[in-house]
Amino acid sequence: MQNPEVLDTPATRLTGMELADGWFVEELLACGRASSDSSGGTYSVSYRVRKGNSVAFLKALDLDSVIKDEGDDDFIGSINRATQAFGDEKTLNELCAKSRMRQVVTILGHGDVKVDKKPEDHMPRVAYLILELADGGDVRNHVARISNDDYAKKFSYLKDVVLGIGQLHSEGISHQDLKPSNVMVFFLAGAKIGDLGRAAVQGYGKSAFEQCIVAGDFSYAPPEQLYGHIPTEWIDRRQRADIYQLGSLVAFLLFGVTVNNIIKELLPPVVGPKHWFPEEGGESSYNQALPYLESAFFEGLQKYKTALPTWAAEKVVSLITQCSHPDYSKRGAKQILGKGDQLGLGLNRFVSALENLRTEAKKQAILQAKRQEKV
Ligand SMILES: Nc1ncnc2c1ncn2[C@@H]1O[C@H](COP(=O)(O)OP(=O)(O)O)[C@@H](O)[C@H]1O
Ligand SMILES: [Mg+2]
């Protein structure tokens, strides 16, 4: 990720303000373009806000940074996308809250606020969303931890993510940008999916990023998107892209690398997508590259498997294989594959697999503690 330049824009000057709905802006948490490698990018500034004893997370749209972004050739398009995406995100968050999706971050409010105009400002009015605050931050904090207790937590968070994907899919929403920075951790409630800024809605077709072949972050994009191949069916194009990213999330939490990293390491550059190999890649179609993608994927997984404890290795690799198969038609729980798409993706099978892994990790942690007592 590039290091974003922190500009002095209206959205960065909210600290100390009292908002119309009674929230007080306490502290700036982060600022910048979170997904710099994705088409369009997202400019947001975040704060901790308080109302009485409640604290929450505020996400402000940094429109001035969008306007000032000279790297974007499509000036009008980028402003349109940013404002529309922000509006869509609000609408989707409200829909998820109304459907009481427990594994999706809940929206608590939204609005806009006027700030004192400085001469160089373009838009001295800042739109914001207020979301429940994840007291454990995002799941990136957990990647490097590898005790059995940490494994138990990781499997539990991953299970929550699968539940969250199921909740979204059941309302026709596909997230399209699942990655560690978009999974929030709550000490009491476990993990929840956040950042609906790239989500696509079945039958809507007008999401801000609908026309982008790579819908979310390139690092987590499924290979068919990187090759510009667009599956016609919704389940293939959107839901199977979500579970590709789920598999990548599993890989990242357990191996510290994305599935794309695993494949890229072993892929002959000539058959790779241009995004990975700007010099040699870009000559093959998705279908031509598929056999090479598959062998790199399977070989790579065998290599990374050795980093895991033996009780987990086989099951984790099986999970990643079912989620992130380079051939999108082969993504889904193995028990239902080939039985027709009316059965969906079999997400409940992944929930049980992850719950079993979590229980096993707990058991291993207890056994290990007992062994240490004896020494
Ligand atoms: N509800 C929340 N509670 C705590 N931290 C959050 C919350 N939502 C987002 N964040 C943090 O802010 C970062 C950016 O928020 P996100 O909604 O992903 O915006 P962007 O569209 O800029 O990627 C996240 O990666 C996470 O670290
Ligand atoms: Mg994000």
The 10s digit of each residue's pLDDT in 209-228 is: 888 889 899 999 999 999 99
Model pLDDT, residue 13:
95
Ligand 1 centroid from CA 325, angstroms: 28
Ligand with an atom nearest the CA of residue 33: 1
Cβ atoms of 227 and 286 closer than 8 Å:
yes
Average pLDDT over residues 47-52: 97
List the end-to-end C-alpha distance of the chain, in Å, as a whole number: 45
Ligand 2 centroid from CA 86, angstroms: 12
Q: Is the pLDDT of residue 94 over 60?
A: yes
Model pLDDT, residue 76:
87
The residue whose CA is least distant from atom 19 of ligand 1 is 195
State which ligand 1 atom lies nearest to the alpha carbon of 181. 25
CATH number listed for the domain at residues 139-367: 1.10.510.10
Average pLDDT over residues 46-73: 91
Average pLDDT over residues 109-131: 95
pLDDT in tens, 168-225: 999 999 999 999 999 999 999 999 999 999 999 998 877 878 888 898 999 999 999 9
- 205-243 residues labelled b (16+ CB within 10 A) or e (exposed): eebbbeebebbbbbbbbbbbbbbebebeeebbbbbbbbb
pLDDT in tens, 288-299: 999 999 999 999
pTM (2 d.p.)? 0.93
Ligand 2 centroid from CA 304, angstroms: 27
Ligand 1 centroid from CA 374, angstroms: 44
Helix, strand, or coil (residue 299) = helix
Q: Which of 35, 42, 46, 62 has most ligand 1 atoms within 8 Å of its beta carbon, as the pocket-test mutant?
A: 46
Average pLDDT over residues 115-136: 95
Percent of the chain surpassing pLDDT 90: 79
HSE-CB for 260 with a 13 A CA cutoff: 22
For residues 182 and 286, give the distance between their C-alpha atoms in angstroms, rounded to a whole number: 28
The CATH homologous superfamily to which domain 10-132 belongs is Phosphorylase Kinase; domain 1 (3.30.200.20)
Ligand 2 centroid from CA 181, angstroms: 6
State which ligand 1 atom lies nearest to the alpha carbon of 44. 22
Ligand 2 centroid from CA 208, angstroms: 15
pLDDT in tens, 298-312: 999 999 999 999 999
Average pLDDT over residues 89-113: 97
Model pLDDT, residue 70:
74
The residue whose CA is least distant from atom 20 of ligand 1 is 34
Ligand 1 centroid from CA 300, angstroms: 31
Model pLDDT, residue 38:
43
CB atoms closer than 10 angstroms to residue 113: 20
Domain boundaries in the chain? 10-132, 139-367
**Which residues have C-beta under 5 Å from ligand 2, the single-atom ion?**
34, 182, 195
Model pLDDT, residue 208:
79
Q: Is the pLDDT of residue 37 over 80?
A: no
* Pocket (CB within 6 angstroms of ligand 1): 30, 34-35, 42, 44, 46, 57, 59, 105, 131-134, 137-138, 181-182, 184, 194-195, 197
pLDDT in tens, 137-150: 999 988 888 899 99
